[in-house]
Amino acid sequence: MDTPNLSHLTLKDYEQVYEPAEDSFLMLDALELDLTLIRNIKPLLIIEIGSGSGITITALAKALGHTAQYFATDINPYACDVTIKTSIQNNTQIEMFEMDLFTNFRSNIFDIIIFNPPYVVTESSEIFLSNGIERSWAGGSKGREITDRVLLQVKNMLSDKGLFYLVTIEENDPNDICNIMKKQGFYFEMVIERKVRGEHLKIFRFSLQKF
């Protein structure tokens, strides 16, 4: 998968929007490893929650082309502007929504859901300081407070053949995340893991069908 061109973004943008880092690039690697599977399920509607710079959803849109429709949400209005700019810069079309998670969409419509959440362990109160860049990392207790909300909702948003990709670190207790999903009838697989700068990143794929 080609890494999108982000040359339009400046240091000033990265004061307000999450600059792609190891977690973002690991998600790109995971999607690339899974590209045949993703193509095989013939996804029509694809969404990234918390798109930040837009690097991930744009990369997928470039790889799959016009066979699907692409959506992105972010709670940070600046990230919404930047994602749109990234999609234009890379000749892709992404519908951007300034939104909390994917709350305003209809049920069971997405074939692919991608989330690189704010996963750092922080005080719960830190999550709600602003809708700015702090939202990129502040994950509250166990770094799970935002992820847990998605785990509760994702079954209602994913289509039967759908795939849900999630970034975790050890502090998030990935085993517990997998158990929560298993109890809801999801299969899971760790697509890729990497240890970087004191973080053990793992990306999981969850699905209601076994692939």
Q: Which residues bind ligand SAM (CB under 6 A)?
A: 18, 20, 24, 27, 49-53, 55-56, 73-76, 79, 100-101, 116, 118, 135-136, 146
Least distance (Å) between residue 101 CB and ligand SAM: 5
Residue with smaller CB distance to ligand SAM, 115 or 206: 115
- The minimum distance between CB 99 and ligand SAM, in angstroms, equals 6
- Nearer of residues 63 and 179 to ligand SAM, judged by Cβ: 63
Q: Minimum distance from CB of 210 to ligand SAM (Å)? A: 27
- Closest CB 209 distance from ligand SAM, rounded Å: 25
Neighbouring-strand partners of residue 194: 201
Beta bridge partners of 120: 138
Biggest distance spanned by C-alpha atoms of the chain: 44
| Cβ atoms within 10 Å of 183's Cβ, excluding its own | 8
Q: Which is nearer to ligand SAM, 21 or 208 (CB)?
A: 21
Q: 99 vs 208, which CB is nearer to ligand SAM?
A: 99
